[in-house]
Amino acid sequence: MMRSARTAGIVRTVADVSVLVVDDHAVFAEAVQARLNGEADLGPVWVAYSAAEARTLISRHRPAVLVLDLVLADGNGLELAGYAAVESPESKVLMLTAVTSTDSVIAALRKGARGWLSKTVDADQLVQVIRRVVHGEAWLAPDLLGRILSELVVRPAEPAPDPLASLTSREREVLQCLVDGLSRAEIAARLHVSANTVTARGAAFVGYLTALWPAVSALRRCLPQIA
């Protein structure tokens, strides 16, 4: 049977949705806290006035919902969203901010945010969106969603990562030998190691070359020579 407790005239159950409001404007944050505390299914509701305080409360309470401002005196909401993804992965992140840039919204979504609300939104809608994100939904205002979709359509694709960026100088030498089509003995000669050394390494050496083969195939198609 579900237990309940009465606080300030509100009957609460153990299934309440805990919320952490993070905003360095105390009057605004406490107004949001008071409004959310008026809902029977929401609470407890904590407030953090800084990123440092928020990290402590996230780790301590693991709230069901984080309501984050983007801009804080000692950090930002994106950093906190990333922190929560590791420290409290079950927490749903909802951005509540005056910032409206599409780049910021996209960055927040990539950090796992489930919604983005303007601080001009009315309190009833905030409550509704909190309930929706708790149940796994995502929410963006229709006009904001349209702007983001337009931005993603016209934005050029990010360049592919350099396949050689993670290779050491020795790996580059081996890779060049493979691109050149050398045998194992020829590779040993070029790299100034004995054939016996190559043979002794046996399976490990073969495994090393095999691991590099996807890069070799790509490079043979697009790079005639590795500098």
The pLDDT, as a whole number, for residue 3 is: 32
The pLDDT, as a whole number, for residue 182 is: 73
Question: Could you state, in chain order, the average pLDDT of each consecutive group of 10 residues for the chain (227 residues)?
Answer: 38 69 96 94 94 96 96 92 92 93 88 92 94 90 82 65 63 69 77 62 46 52 46
The pLDDT, as a whole number, for residue 196 is: 62
The pLDDT, as a whole number, for residue 9 is: 47
The pLDDT, as a whole number, for residue 223 is: 46
- This prediction's pTM: 0.62
Task: Name the architecture of domain 4-154.
Answer: 3-Layer(aba) Sandwich (3.40)
Spell out the domain ranges in the chain: 4-154, 169-222
The pLDDT, as a whole number, for residue 206 is: 47
Cα separation, 165 vs 188, whole angstroms: 24
